[in-house]
Amino acid sequence: MHSRVPMVTVLALMALMPLFSGAVDIRQLRQLTAKHNVTCVLVFGDSSVDPGNNNRLPTTVKGNFPPYGKDFFDRRPTGRFSNGRLATDFIAEAIGYTKIIPAFLDPNLKPTDLLHGVSFASAASGYDDLTANLSQVLPVSKQLEYLKHYKLHLSRLVGVKKAQNIVNNAIFLLSMGTNDFLQNYYLEPNRPKQFNVEQYQNFLASRMFEDIKEMNRLGATRVVVVGVPPLGCMPLVRTLAGQNTCVESYNQAAWSFNAKIKEKLAILKKTIGIKDAYVDCYGVIQNAINNPKKFGFVETSKGCCGSGTIEYGDTCKGMTTCADPSKYAFWDAVHPTEKMYRILADEAIASLDGALID
């Protein structure tokens, strides 16, 4: 069995350089990280971090067909809602152990893959269980149930004590919230009858708080939460609002919710002593939209798939795409390109620096 390639010093070093700049020899990085003890990354959330779990579910929310995966290994559509890899895949590559984080429900998953980290995420899910139920995908409660299955499989592979050690020293990453607003609150009648926007943000933040407490009960000691992106800048939202610019009210809802996430993380740190980090997804994407040339982008208001204004998921199926996705911030009308995910991974690694060191 390979020894683990821990993460913390990688994070400290990578934060000081562009991701995959080649400035540091990977073997040297591994030597520097050998004495640290982070074991793997376990992922929960929505389409931003789902590598294909939805392929196995009775839902229409899937991305396992072309042109998705156009720039993935072997040009293969895996269920990732992008042209290539997700931010979590790049984080895994930075650790140096595996180039991708696989879906836990992938039928081709090998027992040894469990050691490298897996994703339980399900596209169209959210902190609100109703959000997942609307699309027949995995709510966080079900994702956590699969975490228990993961622990059982891991125990059979390496023994109970080692399995518990792997979970205790893993980084738990959560990335969701977008669908709670776009597919639920702003679209469906139930939640707006119960909550105004701020009350709904408080409800979602309290759900996240309880989810992380449950993760802690199941062994989590290090948690990374990815904030919600600027929802009003998504091409689909602009199109539906009839605007060329970002929709400010949606951005404000996302920004305010992110502030509540950070407040809850501070409380969790004080009350249960969990180590946590926050990834400013909002700031990164906003920065790329406001300063496209700095990141090598030419188009940040439209996606690469089809017209780039309305297509995502099923409606992107079989569509023609732009010539060079690396010049685009968005792959479809909702989801980022692999290039944008690479930039987000860079930010995630920088955010982890210091926050998770023992």
Q: Are 296 and 325 in contact (CB under 8 A)?
A: no
Question: What is the C-alpha to C-alpha distance for residues 239 and 308, in angstroms, rounded to an integer?
Answer: 10
**Phi, psi values for residue 278, rounded to 5°:** -120, 130
Catalytic site includes residue 47: yes
What b-and-e string marks burial along 115-125, b requiring 16 or more CB atoms within 10 Å of the CB?
Answer: bbbbbbbbbbb
CB-CB contact of 338 with 82 (8 Å): yes
Instruction: Find the Cα–Cα–Cα–Cα dihedral 101, 102, 104, 105, rounded to 10°.
Output: 160
Question: Rounded distance, CA 208 to CA 223, Å?
Answer: 12
Helical ranges in the chain per DSSP H: 8-14, 26-33, 87-95, 129-135, 140-158, 160-168, 178-179, 190-194, 197-217, 235-241, 248-272, 281-290, 292-295, 338-352
Task: Please state, in angstroms and rounded to a whole number, the distance separating the CA atoms of residues 309 and 323.
Answer: 17
Selected catalytic residue, list 135, 301, 335, 351: 335
307 in active site = no
Question: Which of the following is catalytic: 36, 46, 47, 128?
Answer: 47
What's the gap between Cα 260 and its chain centre? 19
Say if CB 89 and CB 51 are below 8 A apart.
yes
Question: Which listed residue (50, 89, 280, 332) is catalytic?
Answer: 332
Residue 314 is a catalytic residue: no
Q: Are strands 222-226 and 328-330 parallel, antiparallel or unpaired?
A: unpaired
241 phi and psi, to 5 degrees?
-85, -5
Stretch (H or E) spanning 172: strand 171-175
Which residues form the catalytic set?
47, 332, 335
